[in-house]
Chains A and B, each alone.
Chain A
Amino acid sequence: MDRRHLLQAGVASLAVAAAVPFSLFDPREARAQGMPFKVLSPDEVTTIEAVNGAFASLSPDAQHAVIEALRTGTIKPWDSSGGVAAPVFYGMMRNDGVDVVYGSVEGFKNLDIPYMPHIMPKATW
């Protein structure tokens, strides 16, 4: 699965819970608003809903523990034989989340710093 699909669906926002309004929906929210899935496959929707649902059901402390275990590579079980190590996964998800929340004109504005582009991006990302 493209990690950007995961991100757009909200998983990465677990690592970047910022007070910035963005129109990012997880599959459940999208379905509630009658929005069609144009990018995600049915399997991807199922996976994301399962991951988000399981994570959301955890207490804040348990969520913190999961992320910390991802970050430090101590999460069990984690099968990286066909993919990346847990800290790398954490880093990618966090960095993507940071891109969305802070890497735009709106993100800079939220930090109260000027964007100062030479050439303004046409799209946020």
Chain B
Amino acid sequence: MVTPMAQNTHVDAVVVGSGAAGALVAAKLAAKGKKVVILESGRSVKSEDMISSDINARSLHWGGGMAELALTSPVTIRTYFSSGSQTGGTAAHHYAAWFRLHDEDFHMKSTFGQGNDWPIGYADLRPYYDRIQEEVGMAGDAKAEVWRPPGAPYPMPGLPTFQAAQVLKRGFDKLGLRTAPLPVAINTQQYKDRPACLYDGWCDAGCPIGALANPQWIYLREAFAHKATLLNDARVTRVLTTANGKHATGVEYVDATGTKHVQNADLVVLAALTQTPRIMFNSATSAHPNGLSNRNGMVGKYILVHPTLNVYGLFEDETDPYQGVSIGLMVSQDDYEKDPKKGYLASYQWLLAPAVKPNGLNGLAGSRPDIYGAALDPWMKRAAKHFSYIQMVGEMIARPENRIEISSDKDEFGLPISRLTIAFSDNERALYNHASTVGKSILNAAAATEVWTSPFVNQHFMGGTIMGSDPGTSVTDSYGITHEVPNVMIAGNTLFPTSAGVNPTFTTHAVALRGVEHVLAHWPA
């Protein structure tokens, strides 16, 4: 139940969402003297709350906003894993695999006639990748990444190659596939005032020591240093606009007590991932009858995930899989090039040797659901020392029918929730089949004594408010400015017109930095 409205003090900018993009935008606005309020629908999670247990890790993945995104049936794609409703959003538990998109990723439509084009190319983003990399700190080996787009070398040496990675690497070596240290926003040595990683393998539960670049340690800290304010349990319901709909005046939100607030601001930044389309739909007025800046009906369209496959193995060698980092230690992008002649149109990469704990979604036991009862314990004891795996992160073709719409169901405050309709196509299934065959060959070449694969799963969330050059077929321009309301900026993965075949968070940061600097240069919007 919602109680009457409270009026908050006017600010320069209100940022909806405290994840990777929202935190960065808030920090850069605040650093330039703007008065900034961040509204986070989820609970407060500070570094000291990042308890090292898989059960705690799961609490960072589920609940909150995702519970308000209904899935259509039959459900083949779930997005809970790559979400998060708390301080730091999804990035509070992200694994910090920071990849640059390749130049070919920006031109899918014009090159292959499928998906979308980005309104920018790699050259436009490169300086932002380079600056973020230096500012945050990244570890890797640029020379070893022979497929890496041009850019500044990493400021820290690459991740160590523990036994699990060495064992898996021999499979890639035998098949002539090149590998390199996995580029990460994780400190391999002290960087600025943050310590080096301890390789305890608990990244999934959030990194409380600051070795991994989550928002708590990087951009929220910068935002707070410049007097930005964060309000938790503040669920934004709609963007408020002038009568003619051409200017946003702020947002309306409901706090944990059910009290409705109005936060007026000169700039509204929507960085709420899955909830960004919902907020826009719920902001419908007579001037925006289909939802905010949705005259063309593009809000909610082109939802994307990354098709994912794990190929597991047991080895005679000791692999000690419990240590390292959750994302893995090495990468291979030797088969990244998009070529329809392959039988599918997609890029993909392999990540080698993620740290694995016994339980949880990515745990040892979870890899073999067919083992139970008395057979489980001896298998677990063997796997705890001799298990490792490789993970395929693949590309999904952007299609408008994969979409978020507004639902007739409502949340506890009477606001419509959103509904996700999404499915893989034959193209993604062909990619899965190809990767499954290749992955098993790699594990066998690495002398695994048992090899098996995961089902066809997915990770990450992108699209829904895509950027584009044509206002008729996109929601924002290349800076994230909505086509119809110039003082509403969208930040985060929902801007991605295509998924590419790499983990998204580095690009999330680069796009957000480019966007906020544009906004600051043209202030007031």
Contact = CB atoms under 8 A, between A and B. Distances in A.
A84 B366 CA distance: 19
Given A16-B372, A116-B323, A99 B54 contact: yes
B52 A15 contact: no
Contacts of B364: 102
A55 B500 CA distance: 49
B365 A116 contact: no
A95 B359 CA distance: 7
Interface in A8-41: 14-20
Greatest chain B CB density within 10 A among A95, A112, A120, A122 is at A95
27 contacts: A15-B372, A18-B380, A67-B373, A71-B370, A94-B365, A95-B359, A98-B365, A102-B358, A103-B53, A103-B55, A103-B358, A107-B358, A108-B358, A110-B381, A111-B380, A111-B381, A111-B384, A113-B320, A113-B384, A116-B198, A117-B53, A117-B200, A118-B200, A118-B202, A118-B205, A119-B50, A119-B208
A9 to B, nearest CB: 18
A86 to B, nearest CB: 13
Given A17-B373, A98-B358, A119 B52 contact: yes
A98 B363 contact: yes
A119 B358 contact: no
Nearest to B207: A118
A108 to B, nearest CB: 7
Given A15-B372, A108-B322, 11 more contacts: A17-B377, A18-B380, A63-B373, A95-B359, A98-B365, A102-B358, A103-B358, A113-B385, A116-B200, A117-B52, A118-B209
A61 to B, nearest CB: 11
A18 B380 CA distance: 10
Contact of B377 (A15, A19, A118): A19
A3 B366 CA distance: 18
Interface of B: 48, 50-56, 198, 200-202, 205, 207-209, 320, 322-323, 357-360, 363-366, 369-370, 372-374, 376-377, 380-381, 384-385
A19 B381 CA distance: 11
Contacts of B358: 98, 102-103, 107-108, 111, 113
Contact of B359 (A98, A115, A117): A98
Interface in A85-125: 90-91, 94-95, 98-99, 102-104, 107-108, 110-122, 125
Nearest to A117: B52
B330 to A, nearest CB: 21
A67 to B, nearest CB: 6
Contact of B52 (A14, A94, A120): A120
A18 B377 contact: yes
Contact of A125 (B55, B363, B369): B55
Interface string A52-64: 0000000000011
